[in-house]
Structure 1
Amino acid sequence: MVEAPRKSRVLWSGCLWAFLSAMTVFDTSGNAVGYPVFFGFVLTYMRERNGVIAGDWREALTTFLLIGAAVFAGVWIASIPSHMLPVRRSWKLVVQLQQLQSFSICLMLWLVTLFFRVYKRRSPWPALSLLRDLEQPAADEATPVSWRRALAGKLRGAVAYIHFLPEGMARFHDIDASLSSLQTYWFSREGGWPIIIFADNASAAQQAASFAESFPFLNITVEIINERDLTWPMSEHPSCSAGYRRAARFTAGPLWMHQALDAYSHVLLMDTEFVLSHPVPWDPLWYMFEQNADLGYWQTHYERTWNRTVYLTEVSKLFMRARNLTPQVPEFVSYWWDESEVPGGSFPVNIYGCLFGGSLSFFRSGLYQSYFEELDSWPGFDEYCWSPQSILAIAAAFFLNDNFITELWVYGRHQNSSKTPDDGWNDSKRGILPQSQRPAHLTSAGEP
């Protein structure tokens, strides 16, 4: 917070400005214009014990050095011999005016800066807000804001769940356990992000009341899924329930276009059955943002999911070929072409949907949404139970590259999958956090 300058400081400041004015008038050398430039910066940089008395030093530095540079440029031009610069006489007049007016110009700019900083508490120079952000501490972290954050913009993160028709979807019964673990191992230390729970209209009010009672310290809002997505036609299927297929379709596309996400830049989607088991080493939303990642994954796996990729590969190939797209991360789609190397071909690659996140700019991009619309025009979600996990892997392979995909350092369990600091993914020894990089609050025992 900026405090108003004390009267003694204002009086002292005025006396010094009077001295500088006299120096400017009586010193006829070109260097006279440097006095108000330099001392104006010094005055603006002076600080009270509890705040800046005359604005931000970056504003002063930029303002006065720009004015000073213009003044000294004029002095330098005036010193050029007449035969080298025919219009020297005109420039000399300009320089004389600069010498006479430099102090008043600098003083005026300094007073404007002071007024806005003390009374309006914002900069009169919009371009300088970025410079101030470079050293301003983040509201939810103890470390200074990084260059990447300042240049990329402001992170507006949220955590999301899909929890519709809870009475008819047995797999949704663990959301309280998931929220409780999130509160224990993440938000209790970092401070909570908004939590958005996408529900059906019939249960939304009851869910909101239940969450408010059970988790009063979490910032939870319940948003309603569009009726079109909740009632998307689904036929009978021997192994996939209609609710699961609607959730899969919603996760693959409509979720990211929901108006409830308009205010956010990054979203972390958690399955209702995902439970944290250890303190979070690094906030995954901040981590994605600082890594400039458009997609963050918890685990990736080769899985025997041929029954959920029937015609998905063929439709995806047609889409990519029509746009002359080639895979930037071929490992995600190697099973498309490796039948000659692996008998029968390798298994499809999945980016686990139980915990992943990314930027809204990626999921709302024309390329990603047009890909979903192409898939949605086929009956794959209905007839073949297409999985968003496979769709994510294909989209990441063609629309992103390794620089925009990152692993999320979050430890927990989801059904038969787990991830711990010591064992990595499912005892695979992949995704192990090196001991030297573990924050002090992270222990293998899972104690915060």
Structure 2
Amino acid sequence: MRLSDRISSWRHVAMTALVIAASLEFALAHTSYHLGVKIVKVAAAAVLAWAFYLDQRIVYANWQMRLSRKMLLHVALLLLALLGFQATEALIAVLVRETGRYGPDAAQELETALQMAAYPLMTAALCLGTDGYAPWLRRHSKHLTMLLYLYVWIWFGSYYYYMADRTMGDDFVFSEQAEIQTTLRGIYADERYDDADEYRLKEILEKGQYKKDYLKLDADAYLTRDETGADWGGIYENQFAREGYAYYTFRKAAEPLVVSTDRLDFDDLPAWRTELGKRYAEVDVALYKGDGTADGTGHEVRYAEEAGDRASAADGGPAKTLKLYFAEGDYERYMQIFANAKQDRRLGDLIAASHTLPDGKFLELYVGMNGYTNYRVEDFWYFSAITITTLGFGDITPNSGPVKVGVMIETLLGVLLVGIYVSLVSHKKRGSD
């Protein structure tokens, strides 16, 4: 292959990579793949500059006739590769700020149109306008058809991810297991939870233990209609242990809590109407700091039952106090177990037997359980793969007009491209025969 042909081939490969990277950059802007896309763009720009330099040296004698148009196209492509994404972002900012006609939704639609359509299409148009690019595409039609199939898969998967990220997942319906996994990923990303909470969080989600009716009594006490449960109790205990609490003591208040209408508001009334007049034993829990090695694991807060423990715990007074509420008769039954079984003297077991979500900050996990969803682009590449191959497992389904249109287009493109590829292969085989 002559040097000029080799240079032309490298230039066309770089142009193809540039078009692909430009069309994916916006959808992958908030993922770990964004840096890779930018590297591809910079590498393509470097190859274009290198090819242009070599090409200029080869045809230096008549550069005035042959390079003026090519120079303009190359300069435009280089600028798009290096500055195109930032330029469209700046254009969007100017249009939104100066015109005042774009609200949040309209601004997002403008952003999508410019970054995912106008910018890559302009790049593709410049590439097609360069000498020899269209013939090069025809010469490599078979391989480029397969590349286009893979590109459609990645592009639509990235588009679905962008739509899910933009609407907090409302554009899709996930199966129960898929939703649990995305929620767990979001929870694990929160540094307040560690590996000791993993099994409990999964159980809370799978068994629907986060769907509790609660009544706010004060800033740090939330009464629930059913028992808190062992999974919630274990999470609370682990969180307190991580904060440095090692011991606890408790005592029953003299007067019980009675659910009355003055404690209810309009929103609470439907769920708690049947509980009016019900009495709950109120238990005050005192938490004491420790050295972090009291139980050897760092995940337990134990009852200060030994004399040395009590002296250590009482030194300086409690660092934190909680209120727990037990249904009538439950407290007495728990105390019978507590007196006989040392293994049930952990704070988590006391909380589990109560009807309380203690300490307001832990309520965030209950209230915002579904808000912890963490969608990954890989989830939507998977959805795109089962769409373009027409497998359709159904664990993720579209739930909005734009996404449904995208699914239809991708499915038709997938079938069409497979047909074109088979036709090209059979045509080449007949030609060789």
Q: Give the shorter-chain TM-score range.
A: under 0.3
TM-score (norm 1): 0.22
TM-score (norm 2): 0.23
Q: Which has the higher contact order (CA 8 A, sep 6+)?
A: 2
Which protein shows a greater Rg?
A: 2
